[in-house]
Structure 1
Amino acid sequence: MVTKLDETELKRLESQVEHGGGGAWEYLCLVRKLKIRRSDKVLKHGLLILNDPKKRSSIGDEEWTLYEQVAIAAMDCNSLDTARDCINVLSKKFPESKRVGRLEAMLLEAKGCWEEAENAYSSLLEDNPLDQVVHKRKVAMAKAEGDLLKAIECLSKYLKVFMADNDAWRELAEIYVSLQMYKQAAFCYEELILAQPTVPVYHLAYADVLYTLGGLENIQTAKKYYAATIDFTGGKNTRALYGVCLCTAAIGQLAKGRNKDDKEGELHTLAAKVLEKDYKYRAPDKLPLLTSTLKTLKLSS
């Protein structure tokens, strides 16, 4: 996780390097350490070091790490000739390296040689089935080709091995939602909530999916997760507040007066009041529209 201290140091170094104040190597190391993308700047300042024999020799064996970093940045920037040059240098130095093989497969992918890249990635996985980067590249490639069903297949295989990868679960959930496969998306969000029960965005997304699925039981559960989101965010999540109101209205229609809970009534009344107060302060011109909407839902305070 990138902390505020990291961001401050990154901005300081970035400004220093961009204005000719030196520190390019320290900047490149920090970008790599924080695992963030600054591809255009990495390409620019990385090449300045690699193309200067004196600067290159000053970083010792880290030279090869920089070649890899610049190669990836070059692919991001569509400077494929530069990427090829960097990979060639690495290939000569490490002729049997699977890591270099991965870069070569990524270059094929960047060129749009999908079949060749697929074969290269599959070969790498045969040698090392636990290579997370290669698994994720296959997912990215499937998405780039527009084959979301294949992306689902790749992610599902990956998650059978790396079940604790929350980012992968979230990506899979979002693909399912885009394909309107809401039951499958709900399962993914359940896994995320089990793994990180206090992350509000997972509760909110799960509630959205359940509300979309519909049915009394799903909507009642969705309301609980919208309420949890409100709790985790200190009552400041507008989408969750709306969710409580919408769920209350839907439950009223579906339940037709059955199982009425006074506490549930208090919740939606409070949510409506918070929404009205928020709109009055932040968007007074839209307050009449909100009031009208809440009256339609029979939830106006």
Structure 2
Amino acid sequence: MVTKTQETELSNLESQVDNGGGGAWEYLCLVRNLKVRRSEKVLKHGLSILSDPKKRSSLGPDEWTLYEQVAIAAMDCQCLDVAKVLQKRFQESKRVGKLEALLLEAKGFWEEAEKAYSSLLEDNPLDQAIHKRRVAMAKAQGNISGAIEWLNKYLEIFMADHDAWRELAEIYVSLQMYKQAAFCYEELILSQPMVPQHHLAYADVLYTIGGLENLQTAKKYYASTIDLAGGKNTRALFGICLCSSGIGQLSKGRNKDDKESPELQALAATALEADYKQRASDKLPLLTTALKSLKVSS
């Protein structure tokens, strides 16, 4: 995740390079380290270095890294001829093999790309980048079931990849497969318990599934989201109000132990109203109406 400081640094350096102030190599290194997509800029400034023998020779062992970075940017920009020329710069290399497979992908030759990736995995079954390319290929073809299959296989090997768990969860949510999505968010919470976004997403899924037990659990995770976010999460505050309303309706006629305590919902409603007064005072009447409809008040 790119911080605001890093984003500012990247923006300033990009402006400097665009205006002829130098620092092209530093800019390309920063783009690569931050793993951000600036394909057109990378292609433009990378080619300017590669076309200058002096600049290119000064890179030493990093010369190949630049060829690879610019070749990928060329594919991103659909400059496939440029990518092919750059890819041929180094022969008989596994990294070139990856570029060849990427080029097949860019051309839409899916079967050939799959064969190329399978061949590369025979040599190195633990190559994360190639496993991820298989997921990306399935998504590019609209094969969502295939993407789910490859992601599950990937996570059997690389269980600590938080981004992959989150991606799988989001796919399940898009398909309304909420129980499967809940499992993914549980894994994320276990591995990254201090990330409020995981708690919030898990609560949203449980609320969507519904039922008294799920609403009660969702309410707890909305509360933990607020706690981790320092009390500043409007969505989680409203989630508590929604859960409280739903629990109240489902608890009618049940034992007192099953009924909802009004304290937390009142605190959430008060915090919501304070937040709206500060950031969107003109929308406060809408919030008040919504809370009344949920039979929740501060």
- TM-score greater than 0.5 by the shorter chain: yes
Question: What secondary structure is seen at the aligned counterpart in 2 of 1:37?
Answer: coil
Tell which deviates more after alignment, 138-147 or 9-18. 9-18
User: Distance in 2 between the 1:242 and 1:190 partners?
Assistant: 22
Aligned counterpart for 2:182 among listed residues 176, 182, 186? 186
Q: CA deviation at 1:33?
A: 2.3
Map 1:10-89; keep pairs closer than 5 Å.
10-89=10-89
Stretch of structure 1 that moved more, 198-207 or 11-20: 11-20
Question: 2:199: which partner in 1?
Answer: 203
Does the 8 Å contact 2:247/2:259 carry over to 1? no
2:208 is matched by which residue type in structure 1? T
Residues 204 and 62 of structure 1, relative CA distance in 2, 3 Å threshold? same
Instruction: State the alpha-carbon separation in 2 of the partners of residues 108 and 246 from structure 1.
Output: 49
Alignment partner, residue 279 of structure 1: 276
Partners of 1:261 and 1:275 lie apart in 2 by: 26
Decide whether the 8 Å contact of 1:226 with 1:244 is kept in 2: yes
> Quick check: 1:288 aligned with 2:285?
yes
Deviation readout 1:187-238 (Å, 9 max, x if unpaired): 0000000001010000000000001111111110000000001111122111
Q: Distance in 2 between matches of 1:9 and 1:295?
A: 47
Unaligned segments of structure 2, at least 5 residues: none
Kindly indicate whether the alpha-carbon contact (under 8 Å) linking 1:67 and 1:90 is maintained by their aligned counterparts in 2.
Answer: no
Query: Cα offset for 1:152?
Result: 0.7
Q: CA deviation at 1:3?
A: 4.7
TM alignment of 1:242-253, pairs within 5 A: 242-253=238-249
Q: Deviations over 1:134-184 (max 9, x none)?
A: 000110111111111110100100111111001100001001111111111
| TM-score of the superposed pair, with normalisation by structure 2 | 0.95
1:80 is displaced (CA, Å) by: 1.3
The C-alpha deviation readout for 1:75-132, integer Å capped at 9, x for no partner, is 11121111111111123xxx1x221111111111111111111111122112211010
Letter in 2 for 1:186: A
Q: How far is 1:260 from its partner?
A: 4.9
* Cα pair 1:203 1:225 within 8 Å, conserved: yes
What secondary structure is seen at the aligned counterpart in 2 of 1:275? helix
Q: CA deviation at 1:288?
A: 1.6
1:250 CA drift (Å)? 0.5
Letter in 1 for 2:241: C
Task: Choose the corresponding residue for 1:213, options 209, 214, 222.
Answer: 209
Please list the CA deviations of residues 253-278 of structure 1 after superposition, one character each: whole Å capped at 9, or x if unmatched.
11115345899421100111111222
- Aligned match for 1:170, one of 157, 166, 170: 166
Amino acid of the residue matched to residue 36 of structure 1?
V
Change (3 A) 1:41 1:157: same
Q: What residue is the counterpart of 2:255 in the other structure?
A: 258
1:154-169 counterparts in 2 under 5 A?
A: 154-169=150-165
Matching residue's letter, 2:219 = K
Which secondary structure does the structure 1 equivalent of 2:278 belong to?
helix
Contact 2:251 2:258 in 1 (8 A): no
> Is the Cα–Cα contact under 8 Å of residues 245 and 295 in structure 2 kept in the other structure?
yes
- Find the aligned partners of 1:145 and 1:262 in 2 and give their Cα distance: 49
Superposition CA RMSD, Å: 1.7
- State the 1:2 CA deviation: 4.1
